[in-house]
Amino acid sequence: MHRIIIILAATCLLYSCNSKTNEPSKLDKMAWILGYWEMVSPEGKVTESWIRTNDSVYSGIGKYTDTAGQTLTTEEISIVLRGDKLLYIPLVSNQNDGQPVIFSEVDFSNTMVVFENINHEFPQRIVYVKQGDGKMLAYIEGEMNGEPARLEYPYTKH
Protein backbone atom coordinates (compact mmCIF):
# COMPACT_ATOMS: atom_id res chain seq x y z
CA MET A 1 0.00 0.00 0.00
CA HIS A 2 2.84 2.36 0.90
CA ARG A 3 4.42 1.71 -2.51
CA ILE A 4 1.16 2.56 -4.34
CA ILE A 5 0.89 5.88 -2.50
CA ILE A 6 4.48 6.79 -3.45
CA ILE A 7 3.89 5.87 -7.12
CA LEU A 8 0.61 7.82 -7.16
CA ALA A 9 2.28 10.88 -5.59
CA ALA A 10 5.18 10.72 -8.06
CA THR A 11 2.76 10.44 -11.00
CA CYS A 12 0.76 13.44 -9.78
CA LEU A 13 3.95 15.45 -9.34
CA LEU A 14 5.19 14.62 -12.84
CA TYR A 15 1.80 15.40 -14.38
CA SER A 16 1.56 18.79 -12.66
CA CYS A 17 5.10 19.72 -13.76
CA ASN A 18 4.42 18.63 -17.32
CA SER A 19 1.20 20.61 -17.72
CA LYS A 20 2.94 23.78 -16.53
CA THR A 21 5.77 23.53 -19.07
CA ASN A 22 3.33 22.99 -21.94
CA GLU A 23 1.58 26.28 -21.24
CA PRO A 24 2.60 28.90 -23.83
CA SER A 25 4.72 31.78 -22.56
CA LYS A 26 3.62 35.39 -22.90
CA LEU A 27 6.02 35.69 -25.81
CA ASP A 28 4.35 32.70 -27.50
CA LYS A 29 0.93 34.26 -26.90
CA MET A 30 1.94 37.40 -28.77
CA ALA A 31 3.35 35.61 -31.81
CA TRP A 32 0.76 37.58 -33.80
CA ILE A 33 3.23 40.49 -33.78
CA LEU A 34 5.76 38.54 -35.88
CA GLY A 35 6.12 39.55 -39.52
CA TYR A 36 6.24 42.75 -41.56
CA TRP A 37 3.83 45.57 -40.65
CA GLU A 38 3.25 48.80 -42.57
CA MET A 39 1.37 52.07 -42.13
CA VAL A 40 1.21 54.51 -45.05
CA SER A 41 0.20 58.15 -44.58
CA PRO A 42 0.49 61.36 -46.64
CA GLU A 43 3.73 62.11 -44.72
CA GLY A 44 5.40 58.80 -45.51
CA LYS A 45 5.56 55.22 -44.32
CA VAL A 46 6.14 53.61 -40.92
CA THR A 47 7.13 49.95 -40.82
CA GLU A 48 7.93 47.37 -38.18
CA SER A 49 9.42 43.98 -38.93
CA TRP A 50 9.49 41.33 -36.18
CA ILE A 51 11.25 37.95 -35.94
CA ARG A 52 11.67 35.42 -33.17
CA THR A 53 15.35 35.41 -32.19
CA ASN A 54 15.04 32.62 -29.59
CA ASP A 55 12.65 31.31 -26.92
CA SER A 56 12.85 34.52 -24.91
CA VAL A 57 13.43 37.30 -27.47
CA TYR A 58 11.57 38.88 -30.38
CA SER A 59 13.70 41.30 -32.42
CA GLY A 60 12.21 44.14 -34.41
CA ILE A 61 13.25 46.94 -36.72
CA GLY A 62 11.10 50.06 -36.99
CA LYS A 63 11.57 52.62 -39.75
CA TYR A 64 9.99 55.93 -40.62
CA THR A 65 10.46 56.86 -44.28
CA ASP A 66 9.33 60.14 -45.86
CA THR A 67 7.48 60.39 -49.19
CA ALA A 68 10.80 60.79 -51.04
CA GLY A 69 11.89 57.39 -49.71
CA GLN A 70 14.47 58.74 -47.28
CA THR A 71 14.64 56.90 -43.94
CA LEU A 72 14.33 59.51 -41.20
CA THR A 73 14.31 57.28 -38.13
CA THR A 74 15.43 53.72 -37.49
CA GLU A 75 14.66 51.86 -34.30
CA GLU A 76 16.05 48.50 -33.16
CA ILE A 77 13.62 46.85 -30.75
CA SER A 78 13.73 43.79 -28.52
CA ILE A 79 10.84 42.25 -26.64
CA VAL A 80 12.45 40.10 -23.97
CA LEU A 81 10.81 37.59 -21.64
CA ARG A 82 12.37 37.82 -18.16
CA GLY A 83 10.70 35.47 -15.74
CA ASP A 84 6.99 36.10 -16.23
CA LYS A 85 7.35 39.71 -17.44
CA LEU A 86 8.02 41.15 -20.87
CA LEU A 87 10.43 44.02 -21.44
CA TYR A 88 10.28 46.31 -24.47
CA ILE A 89 13.74 47.67 -25.24
CA PRO A 90 14.02 50.18 -28.11
CA LEU A 91 17.24 51.71 -29.37
CA VAL A 92 16.36 54.71 -31.56
CA SER A 93 18.88 56.35 -33.85
CA ASN A 94 19.82 59.86 -32.69
CA GLN A 95 17.92 59.57 -29.39
CA ASN A 96 18.79 58.95 -25.73
CA ASP A 97 22.54 59.31 -26.35
CA GLY A 98 22.53 56.05 -28.30
CA GLN A 99 21.35 54.07 -25.26
CA PRO A 100 18.38 51.69 -25.14
CA VAL A 101 15.37 52.51 -22.97
CA ILE A 102 13.61 49.79 -20.97
CA PHE A 103 9.82 49.66 -20.78
CA SER A 104 8.22 47.02 -18.52
CA GLU A 105 5.00 45.16 -19.20
CA VAL A 106 2.14 46.51 -17.06
CA ASP A 107 -0.82 44.86 -18.82
CA PHE A 108 -1.11 41.77 -20.98
CA SER A 109 -3.75 39.71 -22.76
CA ASN A 110 -3.70 37.45 -25.82
CA THR A 111 -4.51 40.48 -28.01
CA MET A 112 -2.82 43.39 -26.24
CA VAL A 113 0.35 44.31 -24.40
CA VAL A 114 1.13 47.57 -22.59
CA PHE A 115 4.69 48.59 -21.73
CA GLU A 116 5.49 51.51 -19.45
CA ASN A 117 8.43 53.61 -18.30
CA ILE A 118 7.10 56.54 -16.28
CA ASN A 119 10.58 58.09 -16.07
CA HIS A 120 11.02 58.37 -19.83
CA GLU A 121 10.52 61.80 -21.41
CA PHE A 122 8.11 60.65 -24.17
CA PRO A 123 6.49 58.25 -24.59
CA GLN A 124 5.81 56.77 -21.19
CA ARG A 125 3.61 53.98 -22.61
CA ILE A 126 3.89 51.78 -25.70
CA VAL A 127 0.89 49.65 -26.61
CA TYR A 128 0.29 46.94 -29.22
CA VAL A 129 -3.25 45.72 -29.95
CA LYS A 130 -4.13 42.87 -32.31
CA GLN A 131 -7.23 43.99 -34.19
CA GLY A 132 -7.96 40.97 -36.33
CA ASP A 133 -6.47 39.22 -39.31
CA GLY A 134 -3.62 41.31 -40.64
CA LYS A 135 -4.43 44.40 -38.55
CA MET A 136 -2.63 45.79 -35.53
CA LEU A 137 -2.80 49.12 -33.74
CA ALA A 138 0.36 50.35 -32.06
CA TYR A 139 0.35 53.58 -30.14
CA ILE A 140 2.63 55.58 -27.92
CA GLU A 141 1.33 57.92 -25.28
CA GLY A 142 2.24 59.95 -22.28
CA GLU A 143 2.96 63.51 -21.37
CA MET A 144 4.75 65.82 -23.79
CA ASN A 145 5.43 69.46 -22.85
CA GLY A 146 3.05 69.13 -19.90
CA GLU A 147 0.16 67.94 -22.07
CA PRO A 148 -1.23 64.45 -22.73
CA ALA A 149 -0.17 63.15 -26.14
CA ARG A 150 -0.87 60.02 -28.17
CA LEU A 151 0.41 58.90 -31.56
CA GLU A 152 -1.33 56.00 -33.31
CA TYR A 153 0.07 53.59 -35.88
CA PRO A 154 -2.65 51.47 -37.53
CA TYR A 155 -0.58 48.75 -39.19
CA THR A 156 -1.45 46.26 -41.92
CA LYS A 157 0.51 43.02 -42.17
CA HIS A 158 2.26 42.26 -45.47
CATH classification at residue 129 = 2.40.128.20
Which has more confidence, 132 or 87? 87
Whether residue 18 is contained in a domain is answered as: no
Going by their DSSP bridges, the two strands 125-132 and 85-92 should be labelled as unpaired
CA distance 71 to 25: 34
Give 14's pLDDT tier (boundaries 50, 70, 90): very low
Give 8's pLDDT tier (boundaries 50, 70, 90): very low
How far, in Å, are 20, 30, 81, 148 from residue 23 at the CA level?
6, 13, 15, 38
Residue 74's domain comprises 24-157
Whether residue 125 is contained in a domain is answered as: yes
Whether residue 2 is contained in a domain is answered as: no
Give 132's pLDDT tier (boundaries 50, 70, 90): confident
Counted domains in the chain: 1
Whether residue 94 is contained in a domain is answered as: yes
pLDDT number for residue 5: 43
Give 143's pLDDT tier (boundaries 50, 70, 90): very high
Whether residue 151 is contained in a domain is answered as: yes
Q: What is the mean pLDDT of the chain?
A: 90
